Amino acid sequence: MSNPKLRRLKGLWYIRFNRGQGRKEKVKSTGTRDHQEALRILAEFTRNLEARQHDYYGKYSGLSLTFRETYDMFIEDCKRRSLRPSTIRSYEISLDNLSEIIPYAAKVNQFNEDVLRQFTDSLRKRVRPKEGTTERRAASINVNLRSVRTYLNWLYERHYIPRKIRVKLVKIDKKLPKILTPDELTAIYKLVEDPKLLSTYRTYQNTGMRLNELFSCTREGNYLRVSSASKGRKERVVPLPEEFVEDYEMATKDPYLPEYITKQFTKFRENAGVAEGKTLHSLRHTFACNTLIRTNNLMIVKSLLGHASVQTSEIYLQFPEDYLKEMLTEKVETPTPPVAQA
């Protein structure tokens, strides 16, 4: 059977295909005049046609694809959809870990919930425990499980497996976000002698941006247009008060590398005697809590942080309002750093 192809007739795109030697070619309308949309429909049609040819619907015969074959197809599809290289690499690592439970030569229709339970058990044994505890890193285990779940859903959507396979994540005790008090911020900032580095920290504190978002945002007057390459590639607009414009301009002109920014913050936090666990990301949590106090509107918090769901923002509601006001409404004293010499 030759591969289906597109053909344009009277402005509309049609799919030309046949079902084997000696059989008459057929034409199926895509119902669209848009070439890109027609290509998408063609790709889906081709996948479904291949699935029917190999009896993937219903019986799932011995012709079913192997783990290795679908692994390669899945990764290639991720690349075609221009997923971030780090995301694709995470998928590869998780699927390689899965291969220790089920061989690459196994048929994908052999996957089931029992296999996933074995996979979870193997991860519990392999993933290193948190320092000073006997607990396993549940979050790292869930990264593997989410990657495998994405792969299994991809198989199901293309009819390579007969049903959806449920992937049960490991339960994680939700901890409250680590916020920085005014006294803690003052203690940290007093140690920062580099004016550019201090402006960088103040920019994170007053915009709530994630670490890498500083390098992908643009200023439009007193607003920042922030694009997150790591979180769904969505754009959002964040206010930039006039008093912080100078900080932003200094922080983004030949910005420091992300690794240096976080490493230095950890050093300052340790030297300031601030509790372990409060990281650069705590500036984002502090911004969120301050915004909640100021606006009393969780939807605004969601919008400014770029959360996909308001449920993600609801964790800040677990802080008692009186506690937040007492902790965060004092003025933070920011030292005036020495002027950099030309």
pLDDT at position 36, please? 87
- For residue 330, pLDDT over 50 is answered with yes
Predicted confidence (pLDDT) per residue in 249-283, tens digit: 999 999 999 999 999 999 999 999 998 889 999 99
H-only helix segments in the chain: 35-53, 67-80, 85-98, 113-126, 138-157, 182-189, 195-207, 245-252, 258-271, 282-295, 298-305, 310-313, 321-328
Q: Dig out the tokens for 33 from the structure.
A: 């005049």
Higher confidence at residue 155 or residue 129?
A: 155
- For residue 27, pLDDT over 90 is answered with no
Q: Is 188 exposed, middle or buried (0-12, 13-18, 19+ CB in 10 A)?
A: buried
Predicted confidence (pLDDT) per residue in 144-199, tens digit: 999 999 999 999 888 888 888 999 998 877 778 899 999 999 999 999 999 999 99
Higher confidence at residue 199 or residue 228?
A: 199
CATH 1.10.443.10 fits 182-328, yes or no: yes
Cα torsion angle, 97, 101, 107, 111, sign: negative
Our measurement of the distance from residue 324's CA atom to the centroid of its chain's CA atoms, rounded to an integer in Å, reads 28
Q: Is the CB of residue 53 less than 8 Å from the CB of residue 1?
A: yes
Bridge partner residues of 225 (DSSP): 218, 237
pLDDT at position 145, please? 95
Mean pLDDT, to the nearest integer, of 220-246?
83
- For residue 16, pLDDT over 50 is answered with yes
What does the mean pLDDT of the chain come to?
84
**Threshold 0.75, pTM exceeds:** no
Q: How confident is the model at residue 240 (pLDDT cuts 50, 70, 90)?
A: very high
Predicted confidence (pLDDT) per residue in 31-68, tens digit: 888 888 888 888 877 766 665 554 444 344 344 688 99
- For residue 323, pLDDT over 70 is answered with yes
Q: How confident is the model at residue 128 (pLDDT cuts 50, 70, 90)?
A: low
Domain boundaries along the sequence of the chain: 5-53, 67-157, 182-328
- For residue 234, pLDDT over 80 is answered with no
Q: How confident is the model at residue 21 (pLDDT cuts 50, 70, 90)?
A: low
- For residue 327, pLDDT over 90 is answered with no
pLDDT at position 57, please? 41
- For residue 219, pLDDT over 90 is answered with yes
Q: Which one of 23-27, 63-67, 113-117, 261-265 scores highest in mean pLDDT?
A: 261-265
Bridge partner residues of 121 (DSSP): none
DSSP string covering 132-178: TSS-B-HHHHHHHHHHHHHHHHHHHHTTSSSS----PPPP----PPP
* Helix, strand or coil, per DSSP, at residue 336: coil
Cα diameter, the chain: 84
Mean pLDDT, to the nearest integer, of 198-203?
96
Q: Is 177 exposed, middle or buried (0-12, 13-18, 19+ CB in 10 A)?
A: middle
pLDDT at position 342, please? 39
Question: Among 5-9, 32-36, 329-333, which stretch is predicted with the lowest mean pLDDT?
Answer: 329-333
